[in-house]
Chain A
């Protein structure tokens, strides 16, 4: 590009086409047109992806660290706490700023935002703040004492720590809570203890269930894929329909069907009792068994389809060649067939695992209270408690750990080793 018009122009630049324009310029023009057309064709998809994928995810990540609302409503308090070290209660001026901010907030009905934000952090502050907003009088003398007599919580450092943590404009509060961590008023970090340490356990549970389901899918899906790939087309097509029919059925319907099958007086239990294998119904649902069974069933096609397409491309004469060279069937399978299946296995496992991580409705309907995965808590914070900061932070944690796992997986399997079909 930079050579155009330069002194050292090569002879090719000098070649002119019919209308006197240098050939290279014309070629470049044609090339540019082609690129624009190509981009024009891709543009709708690109626009779509940006609009419904990139923007919402960026918005979610932003929400998990955004904390600008509080400082807008409570500017004086935030300013008064700028130099506070969190070791002792702040002085009169901070209480006066608080009173004046709260009465202004009451006027324009925004005190509830402050109350809600502080209640996320310290449980119970919601009503403390609302009643202070109703009663606070910024002109009172001894304003600190009058606040403390209103509610003893105003005399606790933790209350002011919560205000300090909410000062924004960015916060690590939600993300730290999602990782069972918290800061005290002086700013030092603590791990949550006992009953408050929950989300790391849930994250581990989410990955444990997803991994188990992936392995179950592989164990069940591999023989099916093999069968599909090796049978004559007539039988294979019929079998394929059996795989695809459930795939096309709504997830909710399939989950509900498992309720019917697995419940106490369900078909499975009745059959086992009738056969005399058990005398009392087994508990197969509303616990971990139900979650694993239903999720494995729902996700099985995502394993079978990539496996099938990979196996289909493996020529049968490879195995025959191995046999003719003296390999027993097991060795031929392990050393000739299985390595060629690896791209399909890798793709199927990745697909199933990533889908499983985000599962919400199936564990909610067939699992017990102890089998809920991280998405359950995200849904809880979105709809039940309307704490979107926390929901976003949990989403960000899930996204982050999934990407990290994917990176490790990619390193192990190698990017080219994955084949979707």
Chain B
């Protein structure tokens, strides 16, 4: 027992000294969402980057959460340099000063990217949409818009939305005739919120709420619902892996962008910029969509992507025609109140 204890402490000591050591001179560390997505990134981004630039790097996965980044940066000796974050983490982290302010001249200039993909602290990595999804095998004449989603006469049956107010209030307003680009202006007023809930009320008895992103394709597949709000990538995955014939409606959909950020105080700042510059190039970005169904952010990447692939991407011009970016500032400010309101409404 004693011997075991001693060896335990010895191990702990080794772990301590070795975890501290890499902070002095370590390779560029890039952090992303793990899983199949990061495997694709390894293949089209991380590998070629090291080969083409000679910069050594390692990659790690994470699960998100601004608290993790806060602990890394404020604790000093952060072991990460470049991290892919969701838009809400980008907004909070930037306000808290967790990220380096980007020098856009080092990564090709703001004009090279989609306007919504540029931020003081982050450059967009991927674009994905929150769309209306349905099973084309069951609905021959499919819905065309969110207005159809609310039309229970034309399309009888249950529908699914995400649990909570986020995205649902926007969808309700768009269905009620508000232009996607005006949605947050309307929602900022009490009358707008009222209007959204009233619209939701009109199909309340036909609504089911999902909680995890994997649920909507399952609900469609089992025939539980005739249509649902869903992330476009989930629909594409169900079509590819499970050979479904799910279709999406891009018109009036809501999109969001994951961004690359550089953690404040990184010792590898120069390499971090090299990395961001590399993965921002259209000829590099064009390789990601065929593997992931996410859109990419360089304006010129679209021209280089196979038209057949492009047609199903959030960044295809025809899919981007009438969409709105999910407004993180709005939700950071109003999520608590509207979640309470939403649950009050649901319980009525």
Whether the Cβ atoms of A130 and B95 lie closer than 8 Å is yes
- Give Cα distance in the complex from A214 to B164, angstroms: 29
Tell me which of B66, B207, B335 has the highest count of chain A C-beta atoms within 10 A of its own C-beta: B335
Identity of the chain B residue whose Cβ is nearest the Cβ of A364 in the assembled complex: B211
Once A286-B208, A368-B208, A386-B67 are accepted as A-B contacts, the answer to whether A124 and B336 lie under 8 Å apart by CB is: no
- Min CB gap B163→A, angstroms: 6
Whether the Cβ atoms of A369 and B334 lie closer than 8 Å is no
Is B111 an interface residue when CB atoms closer than 8 A count as contact?
no
Pick the contact of A196: B164, B209, B340 (CB < 8 A).
Answer: B340
Residues of chain A within 8 A of B344, CB atoms compared:
195, 197-198, 201
Residues of chain B within 8 A of A370, CB atoms compared:
343, 346-348
Is A337 an interface residue when CB atoms closer than 8 A count as contact?
no
Once A130-B95, A384-B335 are accepted as A-B contacts, the answer to whether A264 and B158 lie under 8 Å apart by CB is: yes
Total contacting residues, chain A, CB less than 8 A: 37
- Give Cα distance in the complex from A83 to B307, angstroms: 69
Identity of the chain A residue whose Cβ is nearest the Cβ of B329 in the assembled complex: A127
Once A198-B344, A365-B211, A380-B339 are accepted as A-B contacts, the answer to whether A126 and B222 lie under 8 Å apart by CB is: no
- Min CB gap B343→A, angstroms: 6
Q: Interface residue tally of chain B, by bracket? A: 20 to 34
Whether the Cβ atoms of A286 and B223 lie closer than 8 Å is no
- Min CB gap B162→A, angstroms: 10
- Min CB gap A266→B, angstroms: 8
Identity of the chain B residue whose Cβ is nearest the Cβ of A283 in the assembled complex: B158
Is A314 an interface residue when CB atoms closer than 8 A count as contact?
no
Whether the Cβ atoms of A202 and B343 lie closer than 8 Å is yes
Is B71 an interface residue when CB atoms closer than 8 A count as contact?
no
- Min CB gap A88→B, angstroms: 26
Once A123-B337, A386-B67 are accepted as A-B contacts, the answer to whether A286 and B209 lie under 8 Å apart by CB is: yes
Whether the Cβ atoms of A195 and B340 lie closer than 8 Å is yes
- Min CB gap A113→B, angstroms: 8
- Give Cα distance in the complex from A384 to B348, angstroms: 23
Identity of the chain B residue whose Cβ is nearest the Cβ of A380 in the assembled complex: B339
- Give Cα distance in the complex from A266 to B192, angstroms: 39
Residues of chain B within 8 A of A386, CB atoms compared:
66-67
Q: Binary interface profile of A, 179-205, with partner B (CB < 8 Å = 1, else 0)? A: 000000000000000011110011001
Is B333 an interface residue when CB atoms closer than 8 A count as contact?
yes
Whether the Cβ atoms of A112 and B95 lie closer than 8 Å is yes
Pick the contact of B96: A112, A364, A381 (CB < 8 A).
Answer: A112
- A-side binding surface: helix, strand, loop or mixed? helix
Once A112-B96, A369-B342 are accepted as A-B contacts, the answer to whether A123 and B334 lie under 8 Å apart by CB is: yes
What's the count of A-B pairs with C-beta under 8 Å?
81
Is B48 an interface residue when CB atoms closer than 8 A count as contact?
no
- Min CB gap A313→B, angstroms: 40
Residues of chain B within 8 A of A64, CB atoms compared:
none
Pick the contact of B334: A112, A124, A264 (CB < 8 A).
Answer: A124
- Give Cα distance in the complex from A263 to B223, angstroms: 9
- Give Cα distance in the complex from A124 to B223, angstroms: 41
Whether the Cβ atoms of A123 and B329 lie closer than 8 Å is no
- Min CB gap B319→A, angstroms: 28
Residues of chain B within 8 A of A109, CB atoms compared:
95-97
Is B332 an interface residue when CB atoms closer than 8 A count as contact?
yes
Residues of chain A within 8 A of B164, CB atoms compared:
380, 384
Within 8 A of B (CB), among A349-387: 364-365, 368-370, 372, 377, 380-381, 384-387
Residues of chain A within 8 A of B66, CB atoms compared:
386
Identity of the chain B residue whose Cβ is nearest the Cβ of A381 in the assembled complex: B336
- Give Cα distance in the complex from A388 to B346, angstroms: 24
Within 8 A of A (CB), among B57-82: 66-67
- Give Cα distance in the complex from A264 to B66, angstroms: 39
Identity of the chain A residue whose Cβ is nearest the Cβ of B64 in the assembled complex: A383
Identity of the chain A residue whose Cβ is nearest the Cβ of B347 in the assembled complex: A370
Is A92 an interface residue when CB atoms closer than 8 A count as contact?
no
Whether the Cβ atoms of B346 and A368 lie closer than 8 Å is yes
Pick the contact of A195: B92, B211, B335, B341 (CB < 8 A).
Answer: B341
Pick the contact of A123: B67, B96, B97, B333 (CB < 8 A).
Answer: B333
- Give Cα distance in the complex from A59 to B163, angstroms: 30
- Give Cα distance in the complex from A154 to B15, angstroms: 53
Once A198-B344, A370-B346 are accepted as A-B contacts, the answer to whether A264 and B336 lie under 8 Å apart by CB is: no
Whether the Cβ atoms of B335 and A263 lie closer than 8 Å is no
- Min CB gap A89→B, angstroms: 23
- Min CB gap B193→A, angstroms: 10
- Min CB gap B286→A, angstroms: 35
Residues of chain A within 8 A of B222, CB atoms compared:
263-266
Residues of chain B within 8 A of A197, CB atoms compared:
344
Pick the contact of B336: A123, A127, A263 (CB < 8 A).
Answer: A123
Identity of the chain B residue whose Cβ is nearest the Cβ of A128 in the assembled complex: B333
Whether the Cβ atoms of A112 and B335 lie closer than 8 Å is no
Residues of chain B within 8 A of A264, CB atoms compared:
158, 222-224
Whether the Cβ atoms of A369 and B158 lie closer than 8 Å is no
Residues of chain A within 8 A of B333, CB atoms compared:
119, 123-124, 126-127
Within 8 A of B (CB), among A110-125: 111-112, 115, 119-120, 123-124
Q: Can you name 11 A-B pairs with beta carbons within 8 Å?
A: A112-B95, A120-B336, A123-B337, A126-B332, A201-B347, A265-B224, A266-B222, A364-B163, A370-B348, A380-B339, A381-B336
State the 8 A-B residue pairs at the shortest beta-carbon distance, nearest first.
Answer: A109-B97, A369-B346, A112-B95, A370-B347, A123-B337, A370-B346, A286-B208, A126-B333
Apart from A130-B95, A205-B347, A364-B211, 14 more pairs, CB < 8 Å: A111-B95, A112-B96, A119-B332, A124-B334, A126-B329, A196-B340, A197-B344, A202-B343, A264-B158, A264-B222, A264-B224, A364-B163, A368-B209, A381-B336
- Residues of A whose CB lies within 8 Å of any CB of B are 109, 111-112, 115, 119-120, 123-124, 126-127, 130, 195-198, 201-202, 205, 263-266, 286, 364-365, 368-370, 372, 377, 380-381, 384-387, 390
